[in-house]
Amino acid sequence: MTVEEYNRSVEEYADSVYRFIRADLKDEDRANDIVQDSFEKLWRRVAEIEFVVAKSWLFSTAYHEMIDIIRKEKRMTVLEEYHEADLLYESQYPDLNEILHSALERLPEQQKTSLLLRDYEGYSYREIGEITGMTEAQVKISIYRGRVALRNYIGKIETVL
């Protein structure tokens, strides 16, 4: 990768990586630190990494660094199965965005990350697997279970509106 390609990757991918990390951590400063560290690692390996894989490499590096930070702070969520009754939400609520974020916060970390990468960032199952270290089958199952949990939590759209 050339210096120009590195600069282009900063311009094109920094915001996406930041949003992805910020969605999980809810801390702007730590998210900024992770993005900066990821780009620093990319710079150190600029001669080894091709521009075409820079985006997935950055997401993968940032994701793994975020997981390391969460583990160090012992804030790792126990990945447990939620019962459907725990995720049901039946009262009317006018702010759909707030409902969606509340529902996402109730998901296990693996499902939340997979859903955000697939539906928000637009990655393929294979790319999500590379970023998270899961197989394609695990990614598909995680996304499916997350979507079912969101659907059960939010309920019918008529209830929300």
What are the tens digits of pLDDT across the range 46-70? 888 888 888 888 888 888 888 887 7
**Whether the Cβ atoms of residue 41 and residue 61 lie closer than 8 Å to each other:** yes
Q: In the numeric block, which tokens belong to residue 132?
A: 């998270």
Distance CA 150, CA 153 (A): 5
pLDDT at res. 97: 73
Distance CA 10, CA 17 (A): 10
**Whether the Cβ atoms of residue 21 and residue 34 lie closer than 8 Å to each other:** yes
Read off the pLDDT of residues 19-30 as tens digits, 9 standing for 90 and up. Answer: 888 888 878 888
In terms of Cβ atoms closer than 10 Å to its own Cβ (0-12, 13-18, 19+), residue 4 is exposed
Higher pLDDT, 25 or 40: 40
Q: Is the pTM of this model over 0.75?
A: no
Nearest to 139 by CA among 157, 112, 120: 112
pLDDT above 70: percentage of residues in the chain: 82
Q: How far is CA 6 from CA 32, 53, 62, in A?
A: 18, 12, 16
Nearest to 116 by CA among 23, 15, 18: 23
- CATH architecture label of 84-160: Orthogonal Bundle (1.10)
Domain ranges of the chain: 3-72, 84-160
CATH of region 3-72, choose from 3.40.50, 1.10.10, 1.10.1740, 3.40.1350: 1.10.1740
Residue 79 has pLDDT above 80, yes or no: no
pLDDT at res. 156: 56
108: three-class secondary structure by DSSP: coil
